[in-house]
Protein backbone atom coordinates (compact mmCIF):
# COMPACT_ATOMS: atom_id res chain seq x y z
CA UNK A 1 0.00 0.00 0.00
CA UNK A 2 2.54 2.58 -1.14
CA UNK A 3 -0.02 4.82 -2.86
CA UNK A 4 -2.91 6.19 -0.81
CA UNK A 5 -6.29 4.62 -1.44
CA UNK A 6 -8.24 6.50 -4.15
CA UNK A 7 -10.97 7.38 -1.62
CA UNK A 8 -8.38 9.14 0.54
CA UNK A 9 -8.11 12.88 -0.04
CA UNK A 10 -4.80 13.08 1.78
CA UNK A 11 -2.73 11.15 4.29
CA UNK A 12 -2.86 12.84 7.69
CA UNK A 13 -0.52 10.53 9.63
CA UNK A 14 1.71 8.00 7.97
CA UNK A 15 2.89 4.69 9.41
CA UNK A 16 6.16 6.13 10.68
CA UNK A 17 4.51 9.04 12.50
CA UNK A 18 2.04 6.70 14.17
CA UNK A 19 4.75 4.23 15.17
CA UNK A 20 7.01 6.94 16.63
CA UNK A 21 4.22 8.55 18.64
CA UNK A 22 2.98 5.23 20.03
CA UNK A 23 6.53 4.43 21.12
CA UNK A 24 6.57 7.69 23.10
CA UNK A 25 3.22 6.98 24.70
CA UNK A 26 4.29 3.41 25.46
CA UNK A 27 7.37 4.67 27.24
CA UNK A 28 5.31 7.04 29.37
CA UNK A 29 2.80 4.32 30.21
CA UNK A 30 5.61 1.94 31.15
CA UNK A 31 7.02 4.51 33.57
CA UNK A 32 3.66 5.64 34.97
CA UNK A 33 2.42 2.12 35.73
CA UNK A 34 5.68 0.51 36.88
CA UNK A 35 4.29 -0.21 40.37
CA UNK A 36 0.91 -1.60 39.36
CA UNK A 37 0.51 -2.60 35.69
CA UNK A 38 -2.81 -1.78 34.07
CA UNK A 39 -5.41 -3.80 32.32
CA UNK A 40 -5.65 -2.35 28.82
CA UNK A 41 -9.23 -2.08 27.63
CA UNK A 42 -9.44 -1.76 23.87
CA UNK A 43 -12.66 -0.37 22.47
CA UNK A 44 -13.71 -2.48 19.52
CA UNK A 45 -13.61 -2.20 16.68
CA UNK A 46 -11.77 1.06 16.05
CA UNK A 47 -9.03 0.56 18.63
CA UNK A 48 -7.69 -2.76 17.33
CA UNK A 49 -4.65 -1.30 15.57
CA UNK A 50 -3.80 1.16 18.35
CA UNK A 51 -4.15 -1.57 20.95
CA UNK A 52 -1.97 -4.01 19.02
CA UNK A 53 0.78 -1.48 18.37
CA UNK A 54 0.64 0.45 21.66
CA UNK A 55 0.58 -2.69 23.83
CA UNK A 56 3.81 -3.84 22.22
CA UNK A 57 5.46 -0.60 23.31
CA UNK A 58 4.51 -1.13 26.96
CA UNK A 59 7.22 -3.00 28.78
CA UNK A 60 5.08 -4.32 31.64
CA UNK A 61 3.02 -7.39 32.45
CA UNK A 62 -0.25 -6.00 31.13
CA UNK A 63 -3.55 -7.72 30.52
CA UNK A 64 -5.49 -6.96 27.36
CA UNK A 65 -9.25 -7.01 27.36
CA UNK A 66 -11.90 -5.69 25.01
CA UNK A 67 -15.22 -3.98 25.03
CA UNK A 68 -17.30 -3.44 21.95
CA UNK A 69 -19.48 -0.37 21.96
CA UNK A 70 -20.95 1.46 19.04
CA UNK A 71 -22.24 4.98 18.62
CA UNK A 72 -21.77 5.92 14.98
CA UNK A 73 -23.87 3.31 13.27
CA UNK A 74 -23.06 3.61 9.59
CA UNK A 75 -23.09 7.42 9.30
CA UNK A 76 -20.37 9.97 9.89
CA UNK A 77 -21.70 11.50 13.12
CA UNK A 78 -21.84 10.14 16.66
CA UNK A 79 -25.40 9.76 17.95
CA UNK A 80 -24.54 9.71 21.64
CA UNK A 81 -26.55 6.52 21.97
CA UNK A 82 -24.01 3.94 23.07
CA UNK A 83 -24.68 0.22 22.95
CA UNK A 84 -22.58 -2.49 24.58
CA UNK A 85 -22.08 -5.16 21.95
CA UNK A 86 -19.48 -7.09 23.97
CA UNK A 87 -18.55 -6.60 27.61
CA UNK A 88 -15.20 -7.13 29.35
CA UNK A 89 -14.30 -10.65 30.36
CA UNK A 90 -12.24 -9.44 33.33
CA UNK A 91 -13.42 -8.14 36.69
CA UNK A 92 -11.86 -4.68 37.06
CA UNK A 93 -12.54 -4.20 40.76
CA UNK A 94 -9.46 -2.54 42.36
CA UNK A 95 -7.60 -2.62 39.05
CA UNK A 96 -5.79 0.12 37.15
CA UNK A 97 -7.74 0.40 33.93
CA UNK A 98 -6.33 2.08 30.84
CA UNK A 99 -8.90 2.54 28.10
CA UNK A 100 -7.37 2.42 24.63
CA UNK A 101 -9.21 4.33 21.90
CA UNK A 102 -8.55 5.25 18.31
CA UNK A 103 -10.34 8.60 18.35
CA UNK A 104 -12.27 10.96 20.57
CA UNK A 105 -14.62 12.95 18.38
CA UNK A 106 -17.68 14.28 20.24
CA UNK A 107 -16.42 12.54 23.38
CA UNK A 108 -19.82 10.97 23.98
CA UNK A 109 -18.61 7.38 23.69
CA UNK A 110 -15.87 7.88 26.27
CA UNK A 111 -18.02 9.91 28.60
CA UNK A 112 -20.44 7.04 28.72
CA UNK A 113 -17.72 4.39 28.93
CA UNK A 114 -15.94 6.17 31.78
CA UNK A 115 -19.03 6.26 33.95
CA UNK A 116 -19.83 2.67 33.07
CA UNK A 117 -16.35 1.42 34.03
CA UNK A 118 -16.11 3.64 37.12
CA UNK A 119 -19.30 2.09 38.47
CA UNK A 120 -17.47 -1.26 38.65
CA UNK A 121 -15.13 -0.17 41.46
CA UNK A 122 -11.77 0.06 39.68
CA UNK A 123 -8.79 1.55 41.46
CA UNK A 124 -8.24 4.04 38.66
CA UNK A 125 -9.38 4.64 35.08
CA UNK A 126 -7.30 6.54 32.52
CA UNK A 127 -7.54 6.99 28.77
CA UNK A 128 -5.08 6.62 25.92
CA UNK A 129 -6.24 7.73 22.49
CA UNK A 130 -4.36 7.98 19.22
CA UNK A 131 -6.46 10.89 17.95
CA UNK A 132 -8.53 13.68 19.42
CA UNK A 133 -10.75 16.12 17.54
CA UNK A 134 -11.59 19.68 18.66
CA UNK A 135 -15.24 18.92 19.56
CA UNK A 136 -14.04 16.58 22.31
CA UNK A 137 -13.16 19.68 24.35
CA UNK A 138 -16.86 20.27 24.93
CA UNK A 139 -17.13 17.14 27.05
CA UNK A 140 -15.24 17.29 30.31
CA UNK A 141 -13.03 14.25 30.29
CA UNK A 142 -9.39 14.13 31.27
CA UNK A 143 -7.40 12.21 28.72
CA UNK A 144 -3.97 11.25 30.01
CA UNK A 145 -2.38 10.03 26.78
CA UNK A 146 -3.18 11.70 23.44
CA UNK A 147 -1.29 10.78 20.29
CA UNK A 148 -2.35 13.60 17.99
CA UNK A 149 -4.79 16.50 18.01
CA UNK A 150 -6.36 16.52 14.56
CA UNK A 151 -8.61 18.91 12.63
CA UNK A 152 -12.34 18.36 12.37
CA UNK A 153 -12.31 16.23 9.24
CA UNK A 154 -13.63 12.74 8.65
CA UNK A 155 -10.71 10.39 9.06
CA UNK A 156 -10.34 6.74 8.19
CA UNK A 157 -7.73 4.03 8.37
CA UNK A 158 -5.62 2.43 11.10
CA UNK A 159 -8.81 1.02 12.65
CA UNK A 160 -11.09 3.93 11.81
CA UNK A 161 -13.96 3.18 9.47
CA UNK A 162 -16.52 4.76 7.24
CA UNK A 163 -19.48 2.37 7.01
CA UNK A 164 -17.18 -0.44 8.22
CA UNK A 165 -14.63 0.05 5.44
CA UNK A 166 -11.07 1.32 5.31
CA UNK A 167 -10.06 0.06 8.79
CA UNK A 168 -7.16 -1.87 7.24
CA UNK A 169 -5.40 1.17 5.76
CA UNK A 170 -2.02 1.37 7.53
CA UNK A 171 -2.17 5.18 7.82
CA UNK A 172 -4.76 7.74 8.96
CA UNK A 173 -6.24 9.60 6.02
CA UNK A 174 -8.96 12.14 5.30
CA UNK A 175 -11.90 10.60 3.49
CA UNK A 176 -12.72 12.15 0.13
CA UNK A 177 -15.89 14.22 0.57
CA UNK A 178 -17.60 12.74 -2.48
CA UNK A 179 -17.68 9.35 -0.71
CA UNK A 180 -20.09 10.54 1.99
CA UNK A 181 -21.80 13.51 0.29
CA UNK A 182 -23.96 13.35 -2.80
Asked if 101 is part of the footprint of ligand PRP (rule: CB under 6 A), the reply reads: yes
- Name 98's Cβ contacts closer than 8 Å, sequence gap at least 6: 29, 33, 38, 39, 40, 41, 125, 126, 127, 128
The entry of Mn ion, ligand PRP, Mg ion, none near residue 106 (CB within 5 to 8 angstroms by kind) is ligand PRP
Position closest to Mg ion via CB? 72
> So which residues are the catalytic ones?
105
Site for Mn ion in 29-68 (CB under 5 A): 46
Question: 155: which strand partners?
Answer: 174
Which listed residue (67, 161, 166, 169) binds Mg ion by CB under 5 A?
161
Query: Of 44, 38, 48, which is closest to residue 71 (Cα–Cα)?
Result: 44
Which listed residue (49, 58, 97, 108) binds ligand PRP by CB under 6 A?
108
The entry of ligand PRP, Mg ion, Mn ion, none near residue 169 (CB within 5 to 8 angstroms by kind) is none
Asked if 161 is part of the footprint of ligand PRP (rule: CB under 6 A), the reply reads: yes
Q: Is 158 left (phi over 0), alpha (psi -120 to 50) or beta?
A: left
- The answer to whether 49 touches 102, Cβ cutoff 8 Å, is yes
Binding site for Mn ion (CB under 5 A): 46
Amino acid sequence: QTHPHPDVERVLLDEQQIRDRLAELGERITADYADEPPILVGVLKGAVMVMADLARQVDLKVEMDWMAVSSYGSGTKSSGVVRILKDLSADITDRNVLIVEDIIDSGLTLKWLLSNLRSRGPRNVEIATLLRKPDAARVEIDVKYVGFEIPNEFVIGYGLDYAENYRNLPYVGVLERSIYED
